Structure 1
Amino acid sequence: MEIMPYLQQKLNTVPDLQIVAFPLPSLPGSQGLPVQFVITTTSNYQQLYEVSNELIAQAMKSGLFAFMDSDLKYDQPQIDIKIDKSKAQSMGINMQTIGDSLSTLLSENYINWFSMQGYSYEVIPQVPEKYRLDQNSLKNYYISASNGQLVPLSSIITIKTSTVPEALNRFNQQNSATISATMKPGVTLGQALNYLEKLSKKIFPQGYTYNFSGQSRQFVQEGSSMLITFIFALVIIYLVLSALFESFVDPLIILISVPMSITGALIFLSLGFATVNIYTEVGLVTLIGLVSKHGILIVKFANDLQNQGVKKRQAIEQAAQIRLRPILMTTAAMVFGVVPLLAATGAGAVSRFDIGLVIASGLGIGTFLTIFIVPTVYLIIGKNMNKTT
């Protein structure tokens, strides 16, 4: 990312070209610039063009974007030929004759083949290129009337030049314009999309909606499904622990360390060391299983001591003391195991750094808090198995 601003600055000096530098997507399946904001409406393309330009103008003033462009542009010249049907009919010329003649003179359709020196070639009846590119040359074409006379095309047509879009795109069966953009360094994809959503609600007329495409669509879908995935992971782990301990209370004590580890990871994300993306989200889900084992070690050992007749308070104190070394050793092993991810360089280094940062920070802070919080919660809501005080 450090080279992107420098590279973009150099590319901006290339005359007559609009060039943007952006990193390739981290995950396969998407193409184009990171931000792809789709404006959809049932209104005509001219109104859509004006709305998209207004969105781009205000978004560029925000300072969040380094480059913005729309795929709806009125930059394609077009020649409209209007035929005086009454005059053509009076001269004995019908519309089919005019259409067939223009098609033959201007298109590249072949009418036959001929052979020469063992090779076959198409026969294309077409006027020379210099007479096809000049709109005034159209008036010098001649059309055959019904009586056999050649009539100049200029006597029955008028030519009008207009500018139209090069392509008319549709999204979900509606007229659409896709705004493609790249963010400035330090701006996340989530921040850019949130700003465009708020801006669109502010400036869009009635009948206009927005959607996402490419990386942006992937980001939105993954972000909405991540919360569901996180909840399912907690539920599954809770049910497995409930079956293992034959209790619905012990899993709650064990999983109390999960919010603490997640908070520890989010602290470093909020400080700007990384952004919330698919890789950090995978790291957060991984933390659930990694941190849960600390609580398992303490709670299981405390329950075993209670079964041997040790009082509840003494059992949890001994369990915390005896299991401290295994907890610290496994935590240190995992943290040192992700050091190569934190120190990675080259292609994909940012993605590996994000995963490593979340696991190392969340596991470190979560382990520190687990040592004190889990025994306290166990003492408050844990089951007293020997029924002694």
Structure 2
Amino acid sequence: VVDDAIVMVENVERHLHEGKSPLQAALDAARELVGPIIAMTITLAAVYTPVAIQGGLTGSLFREFAFTLAGAVIVSGVVALTLSPMMGSKLLRAGDTERGFAGFVNRRFESIRSTYTRLLSGTLKYRPVVLTLWVIVMLLIVPFYLFSQKELAPAEDQGVVFGIVQAAANSTLDQTKLFGNEIYKVFQSFPETDATFQIVFPSGGFAGMVVKPWSERKKSSAELQVEVSAKLSQIAGVRVIPLTPPALPGGGGGLPVDFVIASTAEPQQVVAIANQVVQKAFASGLFMFADTDIKFDQPQAEVVFDRDKLRSEGVDLAQAGRDLSTLLGGNFVNRFSIQGRSYKVIPQVKRSERLTPDQLKDVYVTGAGGKLVPLSTFATLRTTTEPRELKRFQQLNAVRIQGAIPPGVSLDQALRFLEGEARKILPQGYTVDYSGESRQLRTEGGKFLATFLLSAILIYLVLAAQFESFRDPFIILAGSVPLALAGALLFSFLGFTSLNVYSQVGLITLVGLVAKNGILIVQFANHLQETGLGKLGAVVEAATTRLRPILMTTAATVVGHLPLVFAHGPGAGARNSIGIMLVSGMIIGTMFTLFVVPSIYVLVARTHRAGTAVDAEEREPEALADVTPAPV
């Protein structure tokens, strides 16, 4: 929000150096910058419009951020056009910046400006080389983007490590509790543990360890997750899957990898295909754990009656069924009251006598004349294995491959591996989909390009209306935005950060910030052409004159975001992502913009004469020797 005021105050100072009075310098500076500041303000406000109106997780996270920042930018533009020149006329005086530290800075900047003028004049002599380099850098955006790690959000240390406990399908509560004690001992063996918790049920459970505050430990929760996994894997009888909670809400609350294979085929066939993918996943080394959510491991015992023996024993089939239901079902049949309290009557065989299917043979049922008949005299047991549950996804038989990934492996990398193996293994008629956090990654990641394109179109249309030209917005955006994006994506390509919802918003913000540099150069070059300068001379003088505000606004943005780059602690991942994108993009984008925008301007811009713009059908050669720097 300080960029517009920086540009205005610097321009007032420049007019003061030309010998004008403070009031006249403020008036001339304000008149000169009305157009550029309005264009810069609307551009930065418009870039957030797609972010503010989009749905999904990104919209929910950044809607207030977008509206707040857009409003603040508009207010800062109004302040820069009103309050800043007024204060400049009262507080600035000619000669104040020639003495002391301010004078030292000005003399150093004069040296920088002279060097820049020589370099710019030299690059304009070799415009084809500059434009070729511009095209190469733009093309590098594609591999930088494609080969950057992608994730929904950077991992955050939330101070807890969860453990999903999986037991055998026929486990009892007593068995699982025994293993739960072993899990408790593992969690307590770490000095970083502050508290533990467990929820146990027969077929599994949920456990976790709450670690000490960040300042009281040396290991992150991700490091503890790996160490906990090694110890928990030594517990025989149960499988414990350690994981840390997702950085953003709404991810399903389960394992990060949630890959769905669906088909109209029978569940057994779908499970067999999914197990092949799981084997490939384990062999890849990208997964700490991977498994399917459907398993054919639930033992089932079925009582088969021999009707001939049933009749010979005089047992009624319906009565035998009712007796078994009463003895084994656990349903209450009546109530009785003692001392004003009502209690359920639940007839059931003792637990010690119904632990295994073979014990059913010792059960007696009612026979003829009320006699008790052993079940084993007319019935046999047939055991089968059934799935614990059958699931459907989009009305198809489906199997979910769920997994956990170690630190250093991104969720996008794991999903791309599964997608590649699925293409090789899945027969025709099978489809893949996603659930939980994996679905959000694929959904939100696919929205970025559309949001970015809409932001660029909005900025282009706003600038076209402001400049009353379709060429000038092209010069501004083409000469600055692709170069800044390439600079920012270079650091995600090198692994300093990843492409996530935070870095994507940083890239969109970068478009509005770096476009300001091109606006300052192009608008002033057009103005200088109208005063009689040729196109080449105008763009050199415009770039030289606007060098100082461009460097000042860039320095303000970079320094303001440096704390985000160097942030550390439990929640530093998100701040690092957006900081790295903005700082690297602004530095690299500004350096390129100062040389590329003038070259594109000479090639594309119209020739302006006294308030009119005509196409330059014939470009007269202009000598760079005639170009003189703007007065200081």
TM-score range, shorter chain: over 0.9
C-alpha distance in structure 2 between counterparts of 1:5 and 1:48, whole Å:
35
Residue 78 of structure 1 deviates from its aligned partner by 2.0
Please tell me the residue identity of whatever aligns with 1:338. H
SS at match of 1:385: strand
SS at match of 1:11: helix
Aligned to 1:103: 325
C-alpha distance in structure 2 between counterparts of 1:26 and 1:320, whole Å:
44
Please tell me the residue identity of whatever aligns with 1:305. L
Number of corresponding residues: 389
Aligned counterparts, 1:165-314, within 5 A: 165-256=387-478, 257-314=480-537
Q: From the superposition, tell whether residues 357 and 81 of structure 1 become closer, same or farther in structure 2 (CA, over 3 Å).
A: same
8 Å CA contact 1:38–1:210 kept in 2: the answer is: yes
Does 1:64 pair with 2:286? Answer: yes
Does 1:371 pair with 2:371? Answer: no
The structure in which a higher percent of residues are helix is: 2
Does 1:29 pair with 2:250? Answer: yes
Residue 91 of structure 1 deviates from its aligned partner by 5.2
Please tell me the residue identity of whatever aligns with 2:536. R
Aligned to 1:11: 229
Name the stretch that deviates more: 264-273 or 44-53: 44-53
Residue among 334, 354, 360 paired with 1:138: 360
Aligned counterparts, 1:71-82, within 5 A: 71-82=293-304
Deviations 1:10-67 (A, max 9, x none): 4322313433333322221012222111122233333333222221111221222222
Aligned to 2:547: 324
8 Å CA contact 1:12–1:19 kept in 2: the answer is: no
8 Å CA contact 2:228–2:242 kept in 1: the answer is: no
Name the stretch that deviates more: 147-156 or 317-326: 147-156
C-alpha distance in structure 1 between counterparts of 2:548 and 2:321, whole Å:
89
Residue 366 of structure 1 deviates from its aligned partner by 0.7
8 Å CA contact 2:274–2:292 kept in 1: the answer is: yes
Deviations 1:191-222 (A, max 9, x none): 21111111011122343322111111111111
Deviations 1:164-202 (A, max 9, x none): 332222222222221122233332222211111110111
Please tell me the residue identity of whatever aligns with 1:221. T
Structure 1-normalised TM-score?
Answer: 0.92
Structure 2-normalised TM-score?
Answer: 0.58
SS at match of 1:21: strand
The percent of aligned pairs where both chains have the same amino acid is 47
C-alpha distance in structure 2 between counterparts of 1:86 and 1:236, whole Å:
84
8 Å CA contact 1:26–1:348 kept in 2: the answer is: no
C-alpha distance in structure 2 between counterparts of 1:143 and 1:32, whole Å:
46
8 Å CA contact 1:76–1:163 kept in 2: the answer is: yes
C-alpha distance in structure 1 between counterparts of 2:399 and 2:290, whole Å:
13
Q: From the superposition, tell whether residues 134 and 297 of structure 1 become closer, same or farther in structure 2 (CA, over 3 Å).
A: same
Q: From the superposition, tell whether residues 242 and 85 of structure 1 become closer, same or farther in structure 2 (CA, over 3 Å).
A: farther
Please tell me the residue identity of whatever aligns with 1:112. N
Give me the CA root mean square deviation.
Answer: 2.2
Deviations 1:202-244 (A, max 9, x none): 1223433221111111111112221111111111111111111
Residue among 12, 20, 25 paired with 2:241: 20
Segments of 5+ residues of structure 1 without an aligned counterpart are none
Name the stretch that deviates more: 269-278 or 256-265: 269-278
SS at match of 2:509: helix
Name the stretch that deviates more: 100-109 or 141-150: 141-150
